[in-house]
Amino acid sequence: MAGTCCGSGAEHRLSRRAFVGGAMALAAWGVAGCRTARPSGAALVGVRTSNCQLPFFAAQQRGLYQDAGLEVDLRLIASNTELVEALKRGDLDVGSLPVTTAVAAIATGAPIRIVAMSGRGSDGLLVRAEDDIRTLGDLRGRPVTTIRASILDVLLRYALEEAGLDADVDLELRYLSQLGDMITALRTGQVDASSNTEPFMTDAERQGWGRVLGYYTAAWPDHPCCVVVAHEDFAQRQPEALVGLLRAHLQAVDWCNAHRREAAATLVETLDAFDVELVAASLDPAKMRLDALVAPDEITRMAGLMVRYGMIDAVPGTEALVDEGPLAQALEGRT
């Protein structure tokens, strides 16, 4: 959110204060410091700064990890690429990142597996409020911006395909690497639409210049957004710790969904950024949903789309992508 879970990792500031201050307040630690001062016995968890990571912030703030008898060292990571590299090195035990990033990492040999979900939805198409674009068909021949090979790219292409359009043929695609640049390009008329995410779309509408053309849930209801991954070594060495962490994650998801405004305040307080009303509005169930449950078929479906759009070479086997066991154990005894 303060940055994006969807893009290259560069931060876009909508905040009332600079994001870096909030990030450093949570954990004064960068990926370059991964190899130093690893807390003995602590599970190292790397997260980004999106709505989807909110359950991790809530679990930490509400003491859910401690209640589960766990020591969890929660780290904000500057980019998806850095998060993946830290996981590959074993400098992180668990991470939360976009499903497309996780699939691409697994497809290229990263020793991680998806063990849970964190969020669904939240992505869509943003246009200027004043323009006459009302349907996907109205985008034909127009410049549209996205971030190449991100979830915003996959879902844009899929939504267009479902509407009978080919993104490479019918649109003038322009690739940028930062959400902030995409917002600026749209607002200043350099492009006519932007594949974007929350809370930036809600903020654009609130400011009056933007309008959400639609969310990608229209083409793929309840599509996965961010997932939780675990390093294979951590899952093998400390299976009970992983199950306990996921049990706390489930509790945090439930709490966030039941206390949306308080959850929004948790994120604002943690990151020292944004305002509660914006975050709460962007967490509306019509826009996105926090959810821990994951199904292998939805992950392989996403991987199949990534193959179709030339982002990975082949769909990894289901067992390579998802390990359902830890979450199933975490769910035992829940009513």
Q: Give the per-residue pLDDT at 271.
A: 82
Model confidence pTM above 0.75: yes
Mean per-residue pLDDT of the chain = 89
Give the CATH number of domain 19-121+223-331.
3.40.190.10
Q: Are strands 43-47 and 72-76 parallel, antiparallel or unpaired?
A: parallel
What DSSP string runs through 160-210?
HHHTT--HHHHSEEEE-S-HHHHHHHHHTTS-SEEEEETTHHHHHHHHTSE
Tokens, residue 222: 């309840």
pLDDT of 21 higher than 80: no
Q: Give the per-residue pLDDT at 13.
A: 30
C-alpha distances in angstroms, 274 versus 2, 22, 97, 269? 8, 10, 21, 9
Tokens, residue 126: 């943003």
Give the span between the Cα atoms of 14 and 304, in whole angstroms.
Answer: 34
Q: pLDDT tens digits for 304-334?
A: 999 999 999 999 999 999 999 999 999 997 7
Q: Residue ranges of the domains in the chain?
A: 19-121+223-331, 123-218
Between 3.40.350.10, 3.40.190.10, 3.40.50.920, 3.30.460.10, what CATH number should domain 123-218 receive?
A: 3.40.190.10
Q: Give the per-residue pLDDT at 333.
A: 73
Give the span between the Cα atoms of 240 and 325, in whole angstroms.
Answer: 11
Q: How confident is the model over 87-114, as a mean pLDDT? A: 97
Same CATH topology for 19-121+223-331 and 123-218? yes
Q: pLDDT tens digits for 138-158?
A: 999 999 999 999 999 999 999
Give the span between the Cα atoms of 216 and 214, in whole angstroms.
Answer: 7
pLDDT of 110 higher than 60: yes
Q: How confident is the model over 49-71, as a mean pLDDT? A: 94
What are the φ and ψ backbone dihedral angles of 302, each rounded to 5 degrees?
-65, -40
Q: pLDDT tens digits for 209-245?
A: 999 999 999 999 999 999 999 999 999 999 999 999 9
151-162 helix and 296-308 helix, angle to the nearest 10 degrees: 80
Q: pLDDT tens digits for 256-301?
A: 999 999 999 999 998 887 899 999 999 999 999 999 999 999 999 9
Give the span between the Cα atoms of 83 and 97, in whole angstroms.
Answer: 8
